A and B are shown apart, each in its own frame.
Chain A
Amino acid sequence: MKTQLVHLSSRLWALIRLLSTDDAYERYLAHRARHHAAEPLLDRRAFYLCEQEHKWNGVKRCC
């Protein structure tokens, strides 16, 4: 019961992080490691700034 609850809450936490893009950098690292292991990486801050610039380049919010 307790382990189930822990499991459930950790999944919920992972979902919240995913939805809010809190884990974007970790996902970026994983993606790079899988597909472009040899190439240089952005640090956390450079990645965040780059993501924001990219995100707000178009119609992103509605009426």
Chain B
Amino acid sequence: MAKILWWAVAILGAFALGGIALHRGETINAMWIVVAAVCIYALGYRFYSAWIAAKVLSVDPARTTPAIRLNNGRDFVPTHRWIVFGHHFAAIAGPGPLIGPTLAAQFGYLPGTLWILAGGVLGGCVQDMTILFLSTRRNGRSLGQIAREELGPVGGYAAMLGTLVIMIILIAVLGLVVVNAMRHSPWATATVFSTIPIAILVGLYLRNIRPGRVLEGSLIGVVLLLLAVVGGGVVDSHPQVRAMFDYAGEPLAWFVIVYGFIAAVLPVWLLLAPRDYLSTFLKLGTILLLAIAVIVMRPELKMPAVTQFIDGTGPIFGGAVFPFVFITIACGAVSGFHALIASGTTPKLISSEADIRLVGYGSMMLESGVALMAIIAATLLEPGVYFAINSGPGVVGATAEAAVATISSWGFPVTVELMQSLAREMGETTLFARTGGAPSLAVGMASIFSSAFGQGLLALWYHFAIMFEAVFILTTLDAGTRVGRFMLQDLFGHFSPSLGRTSWYPSVLLSSALIVAGWGYFLYIGVVDPNGGINILWPLFGISNQLLAGIALCIATGIIIKQGKLRYAWVTAVPLAWLAIVTTTATWQKVVSTDPRVGFLAAADQLATKLASGVLPPAQADVAPQLIFNQRLDAGLALLLTGLLWVVIADTLRVSWRVRQGLPVPPSSETPAIAMAQVRT
């Protein structure tokens, strides 16, 4: 009976997937994607993850986990599997799976959807589950420590350097997304600004008034945040107050930079912790709401399955569908960053190895589902509107008339009037060139929400969506800056013990300033770049995230081979090979391509020529030297990242070859098996 049911799921999934892939009509209903996804996830979880757990990892529920053995009531706490699932999902799901798919929608809905499904089930979920398992078997050691112990120092240092770089690029790109959403939008700016005092208020409540009453504090905070959305609208309607919140990109970038520094040096209870509680509640609530709305509304997707931009001429970012769809959508398909979480807090909570499948594979499946919702929200917009919001002025033209003419000439009709009335409905003065993905996602979400839960509230829904994105982007920004700070302090500790002390204030200030300067630089350049900045930063982020995934998969493959399971090594080696091909090709194109829309160096040279011949308008000529330097720096950074990946791959091959030859390799760092029965007295 069960067999028949699973066959039915397989056939339904294949049918829905075939429907999506072969459909060439005007529009397609989003339910096709939902049905295909549910079937594929169900099959992947029921069969592939079970097979990996049993055969490749040899998961043993009778074996004690570190949470049981080292239970100290603090980090090591045996926890119910659904609770671990909740914590792990809340930790891995950030703004990435919302932004990447929105940008990748320029290729049409099909490439992104297929990659999210295949990359998730065969790549990302496998990576998360495998690393979680390996770390659980090693007392919850971090990815870097596992790399050092199992492969050698090279892998360990590469993982550490990769983490630091990805953190800096990630924060910069997220900061840029927030700045672009607030640029000349008093409503959004007032709302986002007010999230800071609200978080501080909740922080004080949770510390001084009712210590530790997280639910009460969060409830108060969420109510205040909703009021802030409404309050932003009030601000927007008063001409004088409105002007106080109307900023260009540069001052907003400085605001984010100063904010990031202050947030990193303040005690966590004051800003970071309460903000995180609020963002987690908002995130879970909004995702749930979006899922319900998609199922209730069953919207039609207006974007074609595949657009002409698969050839690399896309306005949002340059580069062909291969390799760039695989770089643009990292979170939601394969995200190396997850390996840091899966080898951090989560393994210390796992109470039985049998739970690893649900927590590792299952959480990533859910995140992949979030990415699909983002693609649905982006592609249900009229394509012309989608391109008008997401294309920088350097690509489609600086005026509204020029932009609609360019976009309409691509076959995606849009008019100035349509954009103006849409902006008015959303409570904005303009929606043109709001690059970064957040505003177009917010427009998409606002249209679904308002049609599902009440027409006429478009402006409120839009700014709710912007606030929701900003709140957890700023959480990632605070938390990321702190992590970068700890890593730097750890590094400094090798040279000067006092600089290594995480609580010594001069060291806190110095290391925080360095990290903030790192991402602040990329953020600032992104803001002054007339092409929107995202087109440079997001691919770099994608490359660094896939690099980290590559390192994690190398470690997993190396360990599987060391355990004598060469015949199963393809489970991690195939996604690894795919990521290596994708990142290497992308880096190669980003560096050597002669198309200035793709190649960093070509763009730098083109700008240098223009600058020398004096054809640039003065405003652009002022920033041109910085942009030229930045493009060259980005080329170097991309080469460094991909070089790191290949060093780790070479190291893994070396260890694997030595295993085959019977030569000595670093011993397994797995903790010896202790049966549950021996511990439970």
Contacts and interface: CB of A to CB of B under 8 A. Distances in A.
Contacts of B92: 62
Residue from B163, B214, B335 with most neighbouring chain A CB atoms (10 Å): B214
A43 B206 CA distance: 14
B276 A61 contact: yes
A20 B341 contact: no
Contacts of A17: 215
A41 to B, nearest CB: 12
B93 A62 contact: yes
A16 interface: yes
B337 A63 contact: yes
Interface in A6-63: 15-22, 24-25, 27-28, 31-32, 35, 44-45, 47-49, 51-63
Contact of A53 (B206, B268, B337): B268
Contacts of A35: 73
B463 interface: no
A25 B74 CA distance: 11
B83 to A, nearest CB: 6
A16 B215 contact: yes
A34 to B, nearest CB: 9
B214 A22 contact: yes
B73 A19 contact: no
B213 interface: yes
Residue from A21, A49, A56, A63 with most neighbouring chain B CB atoms (10 Å): A63
Secondary structure call for the A interface: helix
B502 to A, nearest CB: 8
Contact of B483 (A48, A58, A63): A58
Interface in B155-183: 163, 170, 174
A49 to B, nearest CB: 6
Given A31-B73, A48-B269, A58-B486, A63 B95 contact: yes
Given A62-B338, A63-B170, A21 B211 contact: no
Interface stretch (B290-298, B427-435, B443-451, B474-482): B474-482
Given A20-B218, A48-B206, A56-B268, A62 B94 contact: yes
Given A20-B218, A61-B480, A62-B340, A28 B73 contact: yes
A45 B211 contact: yes
B559 interface: no
B212 A44 contact: yes
B268 A61 contact: no
A63 B96 CA distance: 5
A34 B373 CA distance: 46
Given A18-B83, A52-B269, A52-B273, A59 B341 contact: yes
A62 to B, nearest CB: 5
Contacts, number: 107
Nearest to B75: A54
B545 interface: yes
Residue from B96, B338, B483 with most neighbouring chain A CB atoms (10 Å): B483
B211 A48 contact: yes
A29 B331 CA distance: 39
A25 B96 CA distance: 33
Contact of A61 (B80, B215, B475, B541): B475
A59 B485 CA distance: 11
B211 A62 contact: no
A48 B331 CA distance: 32
Contact of A49 (B93, B207, B218, B476): B207
Nearest to A18: B83
B658 to A, nearest CB: 31
Contact of A60 (B83, B330, B335, B344): B344
B672 to A, nearest CB: 24
Nearest to B272: A56
B212 A25 contact: yes
B370 to A, nearest CB: 12
A17 B216 CA distance: 11
Contacts of B95: 63
Contacts of B52: none
B345 A58 contact: yes
A55 B273 contact: yes
B146 to A, nearest CB: 14
B413 interface: no
Contacts of A52: 268-269, 273
Given A49-B207, A59-B341, A19 B475 contact: no
A60 B73 contact: no
Residue from B93, B174, B482, B502 with most neighbouring chain A CB atoms (10 Å): B482
Given A52-B273, A56-B272, A20 B545 contact: no
B18 interface: no
Contacts of B273: 52, 55-56
Contacts of A57: 486, 502
B215 A20 contact: yes
B86 interface: yes
A57 B503 CA distance: 11
B91 interface: yes
Contacts of B468: none
Interface of A: 15-22, 24-25, 27-28, 31-32, 35, 44-45, 47-49, 51-63
Given A20-B281, A48-B212, A59-B344, 11 more contacts: A16-B215, A19-B87, A20-B218, A45-B208, A53-B267, A55-B273, A56-B272, A60-B483, A62-B93, A62-B96, A63-B94
Interface of B: 73-75, 80, 82-83, 86-87, 91-96, 163, 170, 174, 206-208, 211-215, 218, 267-269, 272-273, 276-277, 281, 330-331, 335, 337-338, 340-341, 344-345, 475-476, 479-480, 482-483, 486, 502, 541, 545
8 contacts: A21-B214, A25-B212, A31-B73, A45-B211, A45-B212, A60-B479, A61-B475, A63-B331
